[in-house]
Structure 1
């Protein structure tokens, strides 16, 4: 259980990005949302309201993924968008070399289904140990669980074929191509980690560097999937968009939590 001093530090200090106080809602819609969330939080507690908001946001993200998958399947078919995917793959093939192939393969390993989940668990544990507070842990776990669910739903609904094996280079993939799980998971998880770390910086420059590093890494991971021939470009693009959407819902949920949290939150 966090002390009152620890709670005060979290509620008053870890809420600034640049000059923007995240507890301030400038739009009328944001103010209405914050007001309704505060009403719920007063009844069930700020932490339970955060979990409920993340759950609702996760449901929306998964439903949106399913809807986008059906629309995507209706307009593209399973062999790719010839006007975009084929030229992107051909361009990627011209960039291949022993060095770029090795780098892309290493990226696939680091941001794949083994190392990235381990990093997620480790980061959640580290935030929990540092802050003695459950909210950062909840955000990291939600990021990983939600992005994984979105990936699984998209793949099961579309079952899109990857580029032919003769156009790809190791490591080869066997699961359906749409969406790119590497891209979606990296965008969401690194985005949440960058957000949480940025909140703990007093100056704007480190905040910008953290967010920029996360965005750049997500971009490189996605492009590396095309270079390997593991995905079509549109699989990667949907991974970026879906990841940013889920990340936005997580950050909004946390902002609502910060807006309703106060010093006697410790007594929940």
Structure 2
């Protein structure tokens, strides 16, 4: 009778100790298997001095094994794509404005190039020559071009430089220098286009106004060459470096 009470004491629904131990060992091995490559492996790699960056931070967080799989992983965003897109849009605007639209305007100006397209500036004689061959329709088309692509291009150039400085460039002085030069270029280029429109449409020419517009044109071209080379160069170098790093990653 006492023996029966001893054996039935406690929770009658509790499983035998031997089965608990078996399940505990099985569960322990399963937990260890589930933790392989997870948080435990991450901590072990840090203790052993290995690079833990290839290990996921949680069990179940498995990183893609190949570079192409990592690039196509869901939820993975690449802000560099925005920089590349801005640079491409800026290059297309430059090609449209200075390689297509401005050369087309020479047909309405007796074969003379537009003042804003002259890298070395212009003088009073150049403006007088343009005023004598350009009618109101030609000046209106040039004014419309300045108000559209002539404003969009410097703004896009500034945004491209801003994005490149924030993501691709290193060095505090370089970044601030490029950003300041890009902002100065945008302001100078827009002011230059307004001054050219005002000079071509004015009744009397002012030598000081022509000289100022010519100087702003030269400064804008110099700033464009410097900023454009730095921005495009940073994009190309970053793309090459990332491609080499992804090819080295197993």
- TM-score of the pair, normalised by structure 2: 0.29
Q: Which protein has the larger Cα radius of gyration, Structure 1 or Structure 2?
A: 2
